[in-house]
Amino acid sequence: MATLSLQNVQKSYGGLQVLHGIDVELEDGGFLVLLGPSGCGKSTLLNLIAGLDDISAGDIRIDGRSVIELAPKDRNIAMVFQSYALYPTMTVERNIGFGLEMRGVNGNERSAAVKQAADLLQISHLLDRRPANLSGGQRQRVAMGRAIVRNPDLFLFDEPLSNLDAKLRAEMRTEIKRLHGRLGTSVVYVTHDQIEAMTLGTKVAVMKGGYIQQFADPQTIYEKPANIFVAGFIGSPSMNFVTGTLTSDGRIARFEASGVRVEIPSNSDEMFDARPAVLGIRPEELKVDDGESAMLTGTIDVVEPTGPDTMVTVRIGEQPIVARLPSRFSGKAGETVGLIAHVNSMSLFDYQTELRVPL
Amino acid sequence: MDTGSHLPKTGMIGELSETRYWIYLLLLPSLVIILLVIAYPTIYGMAISFREMRLTRPGLTGWVGFKHYLVMIDDPVFWVALKNTVLWVTFAVVLELGLGFIAATALNRNVPGTGIFAVLILVPYFLPNVVAGHMWALLLDPRLGVINDILVRVGVLGSYKAWFADPNTALAATIFVEAWHGFPFFALLLLAGLKGIPHDLYKAAAVDGAGPIAQFRLITVPMLKSVIAAAVILRVISLVNSPDLLLILTGGGPGDATQVLSLYAFQTAYKDFNFGYASALSVVMFVILMVFAYAYIRLSKIGQE
Amino acid sequence: MQLNRREVLAGATAMALASQLSTARAAGAINYWHHFASQSEMEGLVKIIALFQAKYPGTKVTQEGIPNSEYMAKVSSAVVAGGKPDTGMVITERFADLVAMNGLVDLSARVKAWPGKSSFPDNRWKGLSQDGKIYAVPAFAFVDWMYYRADYFEQAGLSGPPKNFDEFVQAARKLTDPSKGRYAFSMRGGAGAFKYVIDVMEAFGSPIVKDGKPAIDRAAAIEAVTFYSDLFVKEKVVPPSAPNDSYRQIMEAFRTGQTAMVWHHTGSLSEISGALKQGTQFQTAPMPAGPKAQIARVAYAGNGIMKEENIEAAWQWVSFWGEPEAAIVLLEATGYFPASTAALQDPRLTSNKIYDAAVKTLEFGRLPNTFVGAAGWSENVVNPAFQSVLTGQSKPADAVDRMIKGLDAAMR
């Protein structure tokens, strides 16, 4: 168990900078998710933490101790790979115990540790098999067994669930959460799946283009996204964006667009007059209100019942938005509908900078 | 073309194509070709080895049983050639495998510009044996050879050496030439094999604490095992069977110092015109190769995974 | 374009029927296998074909060059598997094997009726006949002789070329200076070594074959092999590369000045003349005499007919090579000696002093040994046996025993 501290971590390949000064602090026993689309630098960052690649500038500290001069094996970390990276010629037992074997742990002690890890992951019956004879889920468990058997300071997961089908993925996600709760070891977890990030992480770093876009707990990331990129990346279906203007007198901020009129109480002293802005509303926050207080008014375009919910696409002026409404919604395409949402669930972004406008 | 009148026939084949016999019909041409160009000559060659067949003695003919094989036991040249074949093939393959591995490892580092080297390194293999042989005969020439010149200049040699004229160096020199000529074959196959090893395995091993030697032993070699095994078998077969390089460099000399079975069989057939004895030599080579391939495949356990 | 299986089958069936190939060759066209390779040889051949075409416009000749070392392999494959050419080059050393494998057609009747026969004395036919039957028409001759560096001889204070083996060794000692990288004699120890091993054996009085039976005189042969190999082993008047030196290497050694003497035949005159100056730098001399005999080969090369079809056109072609005009064209291009006496009278030959040695050799030179199995025994037995003496792997006596044993096996 340990803390992790990334200080101004930079990485360049020749003239190409792929990480621009990453700063992250993870508490002891925390679960850090590096989230972002492919090419955002999250896997590179993980490799730097593991020591599989050399850092260009900055520092990485595990439990307060700088590790950038250390080889991967000396950082007391364990890693789980997307491809599982099991040694194809070794049995499951030797695969799990390999790290201990390389560290000179004797046979009996090793068997005991392997047995314990295998029991924890419910793969004791597979110990004599070779990786080729395992299913995807079983391989994933072996890969995790190989990580936990060493009792490291830090677990590194590199998209560990990406190769599994949807059902197994959900199952293993729960398993990882359970293991983390039980072992309490700090984790760095790379994924492009926002659901994994939200369910697993105690901290999420959303990355894009080698920069951290937002570093916060999942709730904050969901409720108060720092910019349009984060707002759009988190949540499914993704947040609706409506372009319009923002006017504020310091007490009340008013957002207006064709078919939209929202007033939000403001604590900021800043005052704007018809500043171009983007309003973000999550589909699940929208409710039908055909009365006077409707904030958005438009024409129903498509109605898609999914069972528990009904997804309704509404044209507000020229801008389509999606509302996730209860299944009892009875509106039809072509009808006019009014929608409201709680003002606290809304986000406002500057049109130019795409950054959140604090109110 | 009058295709119309033949359509009914095609129609019949069309009917057949819907049945399970279709697959056998499709296999038929290749089966026929294999029987004609491989099975028939092989069996015919084996049959000749039990006959007297000397082109220059049309009168001498008929079955002679194991005569040629018994003669072989008392033929000192056969035993020398057998020994040389084993030495020549073993050392050449080991050298080629080693050089090929080094080349493949170097090419596998995705450094810019290695594409050019990948092509350059293959050049020796593109050269026909005959061209490579003549080229090296010149490079190692005792009068004009560049290699001799370089070795004398750097002080390794006192004077030009006739590498192929000295029985102590002739076989080694031909092995060197063969290794130069054949290593790209291994480099190419091993490079393909290396590219197929997931990079994550090395990362996992690094995290697990395995050093470069352990990684090589526990990941690279096992992952390349079937490639290495296949490449070695192919190369051994082609080395045992092809006398052309030796034919050009030494002709088996001096004094049988570089005589190998394939060359001996070739000379027996085309200089002595003694096809019976040459066939018996070829059958012995065939048996040795079969035993080798079987044992090697068993030992390297290809097909187990 | 999408084709379904039935359409593909229909197309394939039709194409198979359409592709009826015709392989028949037009009458009056013949092909000719030869082992000419050098530029000068090819130039001569092309000129002869042009002359022939002018004389016999109705017969078309297609020439196919085959490397000398592969010639017999190709011909024997053609005899076994079919595909013999209409006509082919025949040299004396290979004559017996070619006849034995039924590779040549009996031409006796045609030769008797041929007016050109009078230009060829009996010895010209001897190497191309067997059991009284003639199988090929002589075209040119390779006459053995010796090339020597006149300038080296002068520097060494030698008045002239050695006339016998004793003088040869004496001269060789004077001409050798390893510190200058200079050796007296280009010994052929690699491919083709057998030729001079056999010659020296005969020069020491050991025949090879007599009346169709092996006839090596063991004692004389051992003496011969000892003498010849000692040039390399004891006297060291031969370059150290000798055990692997074949035609290319011995010629290179002579042309580049490494060696002072080389034994070969008239065929390499033009090549040596290209590198060294006739008269001042190099000269020619008859082969030195051995203790029992002076051995130099005069090998007549000719052309034979290999199959009966097109035999009229084939006869026109092989007999044309015997005409003086063809022989002179070849002499001009390559220096190859004419086989016909008519051509030997040509002033271009009689006036050139460099040919004197060859003309003298014609008086005593003998035919190469021809017996069935000669090629295999020479190359597969004599070569390695002699090489192993050169390299110290065996003694002359062992080598001779191996040669005797091999000869018995070859002729059995």
CATH, residue A226: 3.40.50.300
Cβ separation B167–C6 shorter than 8 A? no
Helix B261-270 to helix B275-300 angle (10° resolution) is 160
Phi, psi dihedral angles at C182 (to 5 degrees): -115, 135
Mark whether A216 and A245 lie in a shared domain: no
Cβ separation B17–C394 shorter than 8 A? no
Predicted local distance difference test score (pLDDT) of residue C242? 92
d(CA C25, CA C31): 11
Kindly state the average pLDDT of the residues B212-221: 88
Mark whether A157 and A263 lie in a shared domain: no
Q: Do C340 and C119 form a contact (C-beta atoms < 8 A)?
A: yes
Predicted local distance difference test score (pLDDT) of residue B11? 66
d(CA C163, CA C203): 13
Domain final residue, candidates A213, A233, A253: A233
A355 lies in some domain: no
d(CA B100, CA B189): 9
Average pLDDT, chain C: 87
B18 burial level (CB within 10 Å; 0-12, 13-18, 19+) = exposed
Average pLDDT, chain B: 86
Q: Is the pLDDT of residue A357 over 50?
A: yes
Mark whether A221 and A260 lie in a shared domain: no
Kindly state the average pLDDT of the residues A165-179: 89
Cβ separation B143–C379 shorter than 8 A? no
What H or E segment, with its residue span, contains residue A288?
strand A287-288
Q: Is the pLDDT of residue C19 over 80?
A: no
Cβ separation B251–C191 shorter than 8 A? yes
d(CA B151, CA C140): 46
Count of pairs with CB atoms under 8 A, one residue in B, one in C: 152
Nearest alpha carbon to residue C68 among C392, C379, C390 = C379
Mark whether A287 and A229 lie in a shared domain: no
Q: Is the pLDDT of residue C9 over 70?
A: no
Count of pairs with CB atoms under 8 A, one residue in A, one in B: 61
Confidence of residue B198 (pLDDT cuts 50, 70, 90): confident
What residues of C are in contact with residue B58 (Cβ under 8 Å)? 100-102
Q: Say whether pTM exceeds 0.80.
A: no
**Chain A 45-74, CB below 8 Å of chain B: which residues?**
47, 50-52, 71-73
The residues with which C213 forms a beta bridge, in sequence order, are C210
Distance from B46 to chain C by nearest Cα, in Å? Answer: 17
d(CA A294, CA A283): 16
Contacts of A165 (CB under 8 A, 6+ apart): A136
Confidence of residue A80 (pLDDT cuts 50, 70, 90): very high
Cβ separation B209–A89 shorter than 8 A? no
Mark whether A80 and A192 lie in a shared domain: yes
Most confident of the following: A294-308, B141-155, C343-357: A294-308
Please provide the size of chain A in residues.
359
A357 lies in some domain: no
Cβ separation A132–B207 shorter than 8 A? no
Confidence of residue C102 (pLDDT cuts 50, 70, 90): confident
Q: At A329, which CATH number?
A: 2.40.50.140
The residues with which A278 forms a beta bridge, in sequence order, are A243, A349
Confidence of residue B148 (pLDDT cuts 50, 70, 90): confident
CA atoms within 13 A on the CB side of B93: 19
Q: In terms of residue numbers, what domain contains A274?
A: 240-350
Predicted local distance difference test score (pLDDT) of residue B218? 86
Predicted local distance difference test score (pLDDT) of residue C3? 41
**Chain C 369-398, CB below 8 Å of chain B: which residues?**
372-373, 375-377, 379-380, 383-391, 393-394
pLDDT digits (tens, 9 = 90+) for A247-259: 988 888 899 998 8
The residues with which C91 forms a beta bridge, in sequence order, are C301
Q: Does B122 touch chain C (CB under 8 A)?
A: no
What residues of B are in contact with residue C410 (Cβ under 8 Å)? 272
**Chain C 165-204, CB below 8 Å of chain B: which residues?**
181, 189-191
What residues of C are in contact with residue B270 (Cβ under 8 Å)? 72-73, 76
Neighbours of B192 (CB within 10 A): 14
Predicted local distance difference test score (pLDDT) of residue A276? 93
Domain final residue, candidates A233, A265, A282: A233
Confidence of residue C355 (pLDDT cuts 50, 70, 90): confident
Map out the domains of chain B as residue ranges: 3-41, 67-304
Predicted local distance difference test score (pLDDT) of residue B24? 85
The residue of C8, C99, C244 whose CB has the most chain B CBs within 10 angstroms, and thus the best one to mutate to test that interface, is: C244
Q: Do C84 and C306 form a contact (C-beta atoms < 8 A)?
A: yes
* Chain A: residue whose CA lies nearest to B211: A102
Mark whether A40 and A162 lie in a shared domain: yes
Predicted local distance difference test score (pLDDT) of residue A45? 93
Neighbours of B4 (CB within 10 A): 9
Cβ separation B253–C243 shorter than 8 A? yes
Grouping H, G, I as helix, E, B as strand and the rest as coil, residue C45 is helix
Q: Do C208 and C215 form a contact (C-beta atoms < 8 A)?
A: yes
Q: C164 is written with which tokens? A: 């016998």
Which architecture, in CATH terms, is B67-304?
Orthogonal Bundle (1.10)
Cβ separation C100–B58 shorter than 8 A? yes
pLDDT digits (tens, 9 = 90+) for B25-46: 888 999 999 888 888 888 988 9
Helix B167-195 to helix B129-139 angle (10° resolution) is 130
Is the peptide bond preceding residue B112 cis, with omega within 30 degrees of 0?
Answer: no
Cβ separation B214–A83 shorter than 8 A? no
Confidence of residue C186 (pLDDT cuts 50, 70, 90): very high
- For residues B161 and B71, which has the higher predicted lDDT (pLDDT)? B71
Q: Does B255 touch chain C (CB under 8 A)?
A: yes
Mark whether A249 and A211 lie in a shared domain: no
Q: Is the pLDDT of residue C16 over 70?
A: no
Cβ separation A73–B207 shorter than 8 A? yes
pLDDT digits (tens, 9 = 90+) for B101-129: 999 988 887 777 777 887 888 888 888 88
Q: C105 is written with which tokens? A: 């057609």
Render A106-129 in DSSP notation, one character per residue.
Answer: -HHHHHHHHHHHHHHHT-GGGTTS
Average pLDDT, chain A: 91
d(CA B277, CA C36): 31
* Domain total in chain A: 2
Nearest alpha carbon to residue B207 among A22, C123, A85, A19 = A85
Mark whether A195 and A265 lie in a shared domain: no
Cβ separation B55–C100 shorter than 8 A? yes
What residues of B are in contact with residue C189 (Cβ under 8 Å)? 165, 254
Kindly state the average pLDDT of the residues C260-279: 90
Is the peptide bond preceding residue A237 cis, with omega within 30 degrees of 0?
Answer: yes
Q: Is the pLDDT of residue C166 over 70?
A: yes
Predicted local distance difference test score (pLDDT) of residue C2? 41
Do B and A make contact via 3 or more CB pairs under 8 A? The reply is yes
Mark whether A98 and A247 lie in a shared domain: no
d(CA B173, CA B160): 14
d(CA A350, CA A255): 12
Q: Is the pLDDT of residue C254 over 90?
A: yes
Q: Does C333 touch chain B (CB under 8 A)?
A: no
Predicted local distance difference test score (pLDDT) of residue C12? 40
The residues with which C138 forms a beta bridge, in sequence order, are C302
Kindly state the average pLDDT of the residues C216-232: 95
Predicted local distance difference test score (pLDDT) of residue B10? 56
The residue of C13, C236, C241 whose CB has the most chain B CBs within 10 angstroms, and thus the best one to mutate to test that interface, is: C241
Do A and C make contact via 3 or more CB pairs under 8 A? The reply is no
Least confident span in B11-20, B75-84, C111-120: B11-20
- For residues B17 and C48, which has the higher predicted lDDT (pLDDT)? C48
Cβ separation A72–B207 shorter than 8 A? yes
What residues of A are in contact with residue B219 (Cβ under 8 Å)? 87
Domain final residue, candidates A199, A233, A267: A233
Distance from C377 to chain B by nearest Cα, in Å? Answer: 7
Residue among C181, C190, C377 whose CB faces B253 most closely:
C190
Mark whether A202 and A82 lie in a shared domain: yes
Cβ separation B208–A130 shorter than 8 A? no
Predicted local distance difference test score (pLDDT) of residue C260? 94
Confidence of residue C6 (pLDDT cuts 50, 70, 90): very low
Neighbours of C402 (CB within 10 A): 19
Q: Is the pLDDT of residue B248 over 70?
A: yes
Render A42-64 in DSSP notation, one character per residue.
Answer: HHHHHHHHHTSS--SEEEEEETT
Q: Is the pLDDT of residue B168 over 90?
A: no
Confidence of residue C171 (pLDDT cuts 50, 70, 90): very high
